[in-house]
Structure 1
Amino acid sequence: MSNLALVTGATSGIGKAFAERLASDGYDLVIVGRRRERLDAFVAAHAEVKVRAVAADLSTDEGIDAVAEICATEPLTLLVNNAGVAHYMPLAELSAGQARELVNVKVLAPTMLSRAAVSGMQERGRGAIVNVAGMIAFSGPAPQSQMPRRAVYAGTLAHLVAMSQTLSAELEGTGVRVQVVCPGVVATEFHKRQGIDLSAVPRMSAEDLVAAALRGLELGEVVCAPGVEDAGVLDAVFQADLTAFAAQTPALATRYH
């Protein structure tokens, strides 16, 4: 049985690394991106597998709907929700258009594409959804002195973590797996397009990140943090989440009296 993967944001960085690795593993591909010339170049360089190029802008309803239709009708083995935009700035400095673009690409698109793909995967009893987030999802408690604020960006990544964990639980026993990948700083064009120079900062390669994500799927990890050596750190975070969730009662806490 052939494997078919759809990768968004496939024209550069992490998405291109996913597409390259999956092609080398023998997957047929649907690659999605905004830049037609880069999509066409990838197709021309990978004659050994079937590659369908789809030029779509996932910040628009039209782009999301077009790709969701493919997710709903093609027998996907793997969906990689990778597309992103690097709007790193405080909320007060974020334009309305930038805020809408960020939420559409990192929240609405993964939601609608996953929703479109998951029914077919369940019917076939196999498949995986990989959402690309980042360790910034865990940075919410950091003080201003520690990290420049990027409230909407951090919030979209935290959404992907919570959605992936919950969806994984929903799909338990169906043969469909869900993973959210949380890299730190990765060596791609992503920050450069925002005008941020990270050349002096140690960075993980996109290829290593992809290797970790695919190995993490094999290991059954729902949250894959490629740069975190001690996985127990993540377990402690999630156990604390559940402790807080279970600690609630209908009574008003005494500190509010």
Structure 2
Amino acid sequence: MTAHASGNEAAQTPASRERLALVTGASSGIGQAFAHRLGAEGYNLIVVGRRRERLEELVAALPNVSVRPVVADLATDTGVQTVAEVCASEHLSLLVNNAGVAHYMPFTALPADKASELLHVKVVAPTLLMQAAVPGMVARGEGIIINVAGMVAFGGPAPAQGRAVYTGTLAHLVALSQQLHQELGPQGVQVQVLCPGVVATEFHERQGIDLSAMPRMSAEDVVTASLRGLALSEVVCAPGVERAELLDAVFGADLVAFHAQAPQLAQRYRTA
């Protein structure tokens, strides 16, 4: 599974027709940057977040386009259902699944309610919102989905404490997006998974983690990479990875291992 789509699958570029984008986690950080950039490019917006006052600030900041705020908590079934109903009923040109939460802590110390919140926000919500939005996109023969994950998705083997569940949710988004690219690309729907590294947002501050001394990418640069990545037909967009062939090597190795399997027991398991 490569980081790029095949050359004959052209990226969907902005057109002159009216376009509608729904952005989750739009009240701050990468989601807010997406809302500002898409609004500047003429998209009408549906912005989703938990903080009404932040969403109303977006409405005021983007007077030249229609901005509809939807207050919903994607950590809850009710919140997911609310936004899924919007995705199913509106003619979305673009869906940005950006909402995020981390809860960095050792697996044995992670409370069940926080684990559930993590899984809802980064696994359940993106999956169900896509399920709601995709039928309309397929029927119209066009659409774009951007799933915001992170480079931590590739950090499974890395020695790190307190990120096991978070890492798993982001890896889910990578694999899901790659498979949906294969399934939906021929039907006109472009799927991208966006994998930034550490970004200068409130994300870590809300967990009491001070990364101010660490070099960080801006949210605006992450959005620039994502939109340019769409034009380059990238399925996996890694804004801070200079050599794109490194990603191709990772996914190429995955495919080698996948195709190397056989119905016979591997030799190393045949002897005690």
- What's the offset of the Cα at 1:204? 0.2
Residues 70-149 of structure 1: pairs in structure 2 closer than 5 A: 70-143=86-159, 147-149=160-162
- Tell me the TM-score normalised to structure 2 length: 0.92
User: What's the secondary structure of 2:223's corresponding residue?
Assistant: helix
| Paired AA for residue 171 in structure 1 | L
**Cα distance between partner residues in 1 of 2:104 and 2:267:** 39
Contact 1:86 / 1:193 at 8 angstroms: preserved in 2?
no
Contact 2:185 / 2:191 at 8 angstroms: preserved in 1?
no
In the alignment, what sits opposite 2:25?
A: 9
Contact 1:4 / 1:75 at 8 angstroms: preserved in 2?
yes
Asked if 1:227 corresponds to 2:243, the answer is: no
Relative contact order: is structure 1 or structure 2 higher (C-alpha 8 Å, sep ≥ 6)? Answer: 2
Contact 2:22 / 2:94 at 8 angstroms: preserved in 1?
yes
User: What's the secondary structure of 2:186's corresponding residue?
Assistant: coil
User: What's the secondary structure of 1:52's corresponding residue?
Assistant: strand
Encode CA deviations 1:183-206: one digit per residue, 9 max, x unaligned.
000000000000101011100000
| Paired AA for residue 36 in structure 1 | R
- Tell me the TM-score normalised to structure 1 length: 0.98
Runs of 4+ in 1 over 6 A off after TM superposition: none
Match of 1:198 among 196, 207, 211: 211
| Paired AA for residue 50 in structure 1 | S
Residues 12-31 of structure 1: pairs in structure 2 closer than 5 A: 12-31=28-47
Asked if 1:35 corresponds to 2:48, the answer is: no
In angstroms, what is the RMSD of aligned CA positions? 0.7
Asked if 1:175 corresponds to 2:175, the answer is: no
What is the percent sequence identity of the aligned residues?
68
**Cα distance between partner residues in 2 of 1:45 and 1:237:** 41
User: What's the secondary structure of 1:172's corresponding residue?
Assistant: helix
Listed as ranges, the gaps of 5+ residues in structure 1 are none
Encode CA deviations 1:74-114: one digit per residue, 9 max, x unaligned.
00000000000121112111111100000000000000000
In the alignment, what sits opposite 1:50?
A: 66
**Cα distance between partner residues in 1 of 2:122 and 2:186:** 27
Aligned length: 254
- What's the offset of the Cα at 1:172? 2.4
User: What's the secondary structure of 2:42's corresponding residue?
Assistant: coil
Match of 1:242 among 244, 250, 255: 255
Listed as ranges, the gaps of 5+ residues in structure 2 are 1-16
